[in-house]
Amino acid sequence: MTTGLADELSSLPPPLAARLAAHRFDRGHFLELAKRLENVEEMDNHVRGDLAPPAPGDIVDVPPPDSREAKHLRDLGVSLLAEGACALVVLAGGMATRMGSVVKALVPALPGRTFLDLRLAEQRALERLAGRKVPLYLMTSAATDVAIRQALGDRIDDEHLATFPQRLSLRLTEEGALFRDREGMPSEYAPGHGDLVDALSDSGLLARFVESGGKVITVANLDNLGATLDPVMIGLHAERGRKITCEVVDKLPADRGGIPVRHDGRTVVLEEFRIPPGFDPAQVRVFNTNTFHLDGRRTSGRPIRAPHQRADEPLRDSLRARPSRRGGLPLSTSQGPRRAGQPKSRA
């Protein structure tokens, strides 16, 4: 199978080949993953090993806003902002297939204000709090980069406001050939946010941030407007001294998503589709919001090896498969008040 696939890759249309190269498509790794798809057992998304609920101390409550501890953490977070030690990374990539197949960043979130407008306003508010510039890095994709960069215009300075692209890959058929659209073109996709650290490192932004004294990087979804460089959360992450802190929230009955668990003794976040049948996700009362606080110094030069999982996408008369990088990140977790009127949360 991989021989035929290798031939297909060698004969890609030049514009597509150039686009893949610009987004650091790794031909050898792709062929390796495609070969693994032949072995159903090897590409089984379920983790192996010992799985257990979080241990005491893995999840900590964020203190009440009016408490002495919250004030201490807030003061610590504000001091880090004032040092220029914090940056916000917003995930604005993907394939722009939701919200009417338009770029989500440019969709109105409030009358007359897009998600991008609100993120830029948030950056200005953080800068007033910090008394200095606060970097905002937007991870875009092949489908969103041009539109977002055009909307930002000359405000991009590649230091305090910058974009960087996530990776790009190709879908496969169930038989392991390139999946093609009705025009016969290979189908492209963004392989998930598991490539965040690699993409940020490739851009040079992470190294420059750390070299300039940067310490904390907060990562948030574009449309989760309650997720930001919250001084209390920054302070909590810094005080606990962990490489990664993940914000989690109490589950509602219909909630599904990544949950913190102990996997072979390590605290990780696992998407529910990775959890084997013998472990009941309901015994974990929280799930993650995809908001992470990273220690930039311990992350720079040490890529997070998020594993690839198989993601099947059913079509009318065929099945396409794609390796996707999601879940399995080592972390510490904490919980605090959920924003936007949601129930109690942790981080």
pLDDT at residue 341 in the model = 27
Helical axes 115-130 vs 68-82, angle rounded to 10°: 100
Nearest to 4 by CA among 42, 29, 25, 34: 34
Residue 310's SS3 state is strand
What would the pLDDT profile of 199-251 be if each residue is shown by its tens digit? Answer: 999 999 999 999 999 999 999 999 999 999 999 999 999 999 989 999 999 98
pLDDT at residue 97 in the model = 58
pLDDT at residue 298 in the model = 85
The count of C-alpha atoms lying within 13 angstroms of the C-alpha of 4, restricted to the half-sphere facing its C-beta, is: 8
The count of C-alpha atoms lying within 13 angstroms of the C-alpha of 248, restricted to the half-sphere facing its C-beta, is: 31
Nearest to 294 by CA among 331, 261, 262: 331
pLDDT at residue 217 in the model = 97
What would the pLDDT profile of 286-325 be if each residue is shown by its tens digit? Answer: 989 999 999 999 887 665 556 677 776 665 444 445 555 4
Ramachandran category for residue 261: left, alpha or beta (phi over 0 → left; psi -120 to 50 → alpha): beta
Residue 222's SS3 state is coil
- Across the chain, the runs of DSSP E, i.e. the strands, are 51-52, 59-61, 86-91, 108-110, 113-114, 136-140, 161-165, 169-170, 172-173, 188-189, 216-221, 244-250, 259-263, 266-270, 286-295, 308-314, 319-325, 329-330, 332-335, 345-346
45: its two tokens: 């998304």
Per-residue pLDDT of the chain (347 residues; tens, 9 = 90+): 567 999 999 999 999 999 999 999 999 988 988 888 777 666 678 888 999 999 998 999 999 999 999 999 999 999 999 999 999 999 999 875 555 568 999 999 999 999 999 999 999 999 999 999 999 999 999 999 999 999 999 999 999 999 999 999 999 887 888 999 889 999 998 887 778 888 999 999 999 999 999 999 999 999 999 999 999 999 999 999 989 999 999 988 888 888 999 999 999 899 888 899 999 999 999 989 999 999 999 887 665 556 677 776 665 444 445 555 444 444 444 443 332 223 334 44
Number of domains the chain is built from: 1
How many angstroms separate the CA atoms of 120 and 35, rounded?
43
The CATH number that applies at residue 273 is: 3.90.550.10
**CA angle at 257 for the pair 252 and 258, rounded to the nearest 5°:** 125
- Give the torsion through C-alpha atoms of 100, 101, 105, 108, to 10 deg: -20
Cβ atoms of residues 61 and 270 within 8 Å:
no
111: its two tokens: 């009358």
Question: 262: domain range?
Answer: 2-42+51-346
Phi, psi (deg, nearest 5) at residue 92? -125, 35
Nearest to 336 by CA among 54, 59, 61, 58: 61
pLDDT at residue 329 in the model = 42
Ramachandran category for residue 276: left, alpha or beta (phi over 0 → left; psi -120 to 50 → alpha): beta
